[in-house]
Each structure stands twice: as structure tokens, then as C-alpha cells.
A and B are shown apart, each in its own frame.
Chain A
Amino acid sequence: MNAATLGPGILDIDCARETGRIAARLVEIVARTLHRRGVVIALSGGVDSSVCAALAVRAFGPGKVFGLMLPERDSSSTSLTRGRQVAEQLGIEYAVEDIAPALEAIGCYRRRDEAMRAVFPDYRADWKSKIAIAGGAQGRINHFKLVVQSPAGETRETRLPLREYLQIVAATNYKQRIRKAIEYFHADRLNYAVLGTPNRLEYDQGFFVKNGDGSADVKPIAHLYKTQVYALARHLGLPDEICSAAPTTDTYSMQQGQDEFYFVLPYDKMDIALWAKNHGVPAAELAAHLGIDVKRAEFLYKDIDAKRHTTRYLHARPILVDAVTELQG
């Protein structure tokens, strides 16, 4: 492959054309492939789900799009406000369902807090917490840190041992999985399909929960870099707060950017790194473009490959020992 060159405008798209193209594909997929009558979409108040909802309205009209806001105890209050703002602007029917009681009943918070207390015995339910990725940006092996904050504002952090790390992630994954169960309840009741909202960076790098937010019938923006999703948001006339909001995980009670949790750099730089890798741009050119040293650019490329490999199983459908060929195609 001939290496492409990094320059201004590499992520520019014709937003009007792309909107039309996605809307047409959505109709084709939902009506003719999936044989469903409309779509359900969970609105997080972030740019990805807002753009997907707006695209769905372009495709099907507001009467065939059902929005859901599914807050829980650790959700930011702006998630609900912005989700509602988008639903009302688009004129779609929506429901708000607090999933905290379901999460409480299933043991999400208890199991998470149990693992946190194994690391910080003083930790109580009224403390705030988050998990942060560490190491990679300094050329070290990626690992995870638990950061907790007491009600008095005292912050502590430590490297997470394996067992506790896995349990915290497993417990918090309940959030995405419970949400998906509710999305499918409404999809079944309405005979609708469920929209998944990952952008290309999240989809490529496996930043989703299997059978949680990773589960959907159609993913209309999985081919678009996050920068392009923001461009579509502006084109589609979504509220300013959504067009300019920084991506967060909205999963832990302390404020947490996606670049703290999973990606090594902020999304706009990760977009460029991923584009450069996909187009065979040498690490030295990426380094010069991003203003980082070559070693770090090489690490970025390696990390993209490592995440692709590590998260391959998230994308995998259940694998059969022998193919059932009658169902293929």
C-alpha cells in the first residue's frame, strides 16, 4: 500500500451526502433485512447517540424512533438533561427509566464496592471512584489504577490487583447489560430494531461491553471517526452543548474522560493516529503531525494493534465447532 500523507482535511466529509447515504442504508437494513418497523435508541446525552437518533429520524421520521434515557446512581445529571433535550428537539417519543433499583437488586454496586474496599478498606458507598488507565502514555505496560475520593475531598489512588480490577469491571458492566435488556424490551414490544451507537474509534478498539452497549441490530456510525461524528452533529443541528461535549464514560461516579479510561490520547488525536495507521503513514510522520516523539508514535501504533487483538473476542459471534452451512448467506 502506498502511504498516504497527513494533512489538513483528512477527516473532512461531505455531511449532507453522508447523512443521506446513512439514512438510505438504515431504511434498507431495518425494513428489508431485519423486517422491523422502526428503531429504539438509548440516548446518553453524548454526541454519538444524539447523532444516531438524528440520523434515524432522517431515515424513518420521528414517529418510528423511540428514545430511552436510562440513568443510574453514578450518571451525570447532564446526561439526562441532554438526552431529553435531543429527544424533544427531534420530536420523538421517549421514556426515562431509572436503572438504579435493578442494579441494586442484581448486586452491581455491592460487588463493585466489595472489590474497592479490598483495595481501600475505608471506602464507603458515599465516596466517588473511577478507574484510570496508566503506563502506556509513558511507554510502560498498560495497567489500571483505582482512584477514590472521600466526601471530604481526599483523593487516593493505587494500582489495581488483578482480581479486584476484574470484579470492578465485571460489576460495572451490569450497567450496560441492564440498559440493553431494557432497550430490547421496548424493541420487542414495538417490533423495532435496536440501534448501537459506537463510532469508529470505539468499534475498532473494542471500547464496549459484550452483550451490553456492544449489542445491537445496526450500528449506523461505526465507520465514522469521532471527529466526523462531531461534524455530522453540527450539520444535523444538534444542540451546541452536544456538539462541543468531551467524550466521557459516564460509568463511574468521578468525572472520567474516555482518554483516561481507555484511549492513550484525546479523541481528536486518536482519530488521526488511527487514520494514519489505516493509511500506512510512517510513525515518524505521525509523530511530527501530533508533536510527539517517534517512540511514542510507534507505541501508539503498537497499542492500536494490541487493542484490536485483545478485543477480538468482543466482536466475535458465538463460534461453532462446525459450520451450520444451511444458515449461511
Chain B
Amino acid sequence: MTDVKQQIRSYIFDNFIMAGDPGGLKDDDSFMDRHILDSTGFIELITFLEETFGIKVDDDEMVPENLDSLNNIENFLRRKKPA
């Protein structure tokens, strides 16, 4: 699952931050509070998760507890797609 987190970190870094230190993004940092993702950014992130991990994110799953940090996404994917 660490690979999964790394994949998401790279995606977020390449698409939204674009420069600087990827290590500056901690696993439990909120994308909203750090102004890394806005609502359009979350739609992009969801599209990425659906296409990359073959899942479908339902409307009622679009909550910060599932999507608003690397840790939250990792846990969410684990629940959606048990290894």
C-alpha cells in the first residue's frame, strides 16, 4: 500500500504543486487546509483514483474523511479494494 501512497503523492505533486519539495507534503496534511486542492482539484483527483485503481467513488463517499490527505485516501482505497 506504500506504493499506492507514493503514486498518489507523485500525481498530486505533478499536477497541483509542480515545483518545490515533494517531501513537504506530509501523509496527514489536509489538501484543503494547505490549499493544494479546490473543488475542481478534487474532481480531478477522483477521476485519477477511478481510472488508476479501477474503483467508482460514489457521491456519499466524497467526504474529507476519505479524500483529504494521503493517509485518508490510502485507508479509503483499502476499504474499497481489499488486497
Contact = CB atoms under 8 A, between A and B. Distances in A.
Given A162-B47, A302-B32, A306-B32, A140 B42 contact: no
B3 interface: no
A141 B44 contact: no
Chain A binding surface SS class: mixed
Contacts of B62: 135, 140-141, 143
B61 to A, nearest CB: 9
A159 B59 contact: yes
Q: Which of A142, A165, A302 has the most CB of B within 10 A?
A: A142
B38 A306 contact: yes
A209 interface: no
B63 A141 contact: yes
Contacts of A134: 59
Contacts, number: 44
Nearest to B44: A162
Contact of A140 (B32, B47, B59): B59
A309 B43 CA distance: 17
Contacts of B60: 140
Interface in B59-75: 59-60, 62-64, 67-68
A310 interface: yes
A161 interface: yes
Q: How large is the interface on B (under 10, 10 to 19, 20 to 34, 35 or more residues)?
A: 10 to 19
Q: How large is the interface on A (under 10, 10 to 19, 20 to 34, 35 or more residues)?
A: 10 to 19
B39 A140 contact: no
Nearest to B35: A309
Interface in A126-141: 134-135, 139-141
A165 B60 CA distance: 19
Interface string B40-68: 10111001000000000001101110011
B32 to A, nearest CB: 7
Nearest to A299: B64
Given A302-B32, A306-B32, A310-B38, A139 B63 contact: yes
Interface of B: 32, 35, 38-40, 42-44, 47, 59-60, 62-64, 67-68
- Ranked nearest first, the 6 interchain pairs of A and B with the lowest CB-CB distance are A310-B38, A142-B39, A141-B62, A162-B43, A140-B62, A141-B42
28 contacts: A134-B59, A135-B59, A135-B62, A139-B63, A140-B59, A140-B60, A140-B63, A141-B39, A141-B42, A141-B63, A141-B64, A141-B67, A142-B39, A142-B42, A143-B39, A143-B43, A143-B59, A143-B62, A144-B43, A160-B43, A161-B47, A162-B40, A162-B47, A165-B40, A302-B32, A306-B38, A306-B39, A309-B35
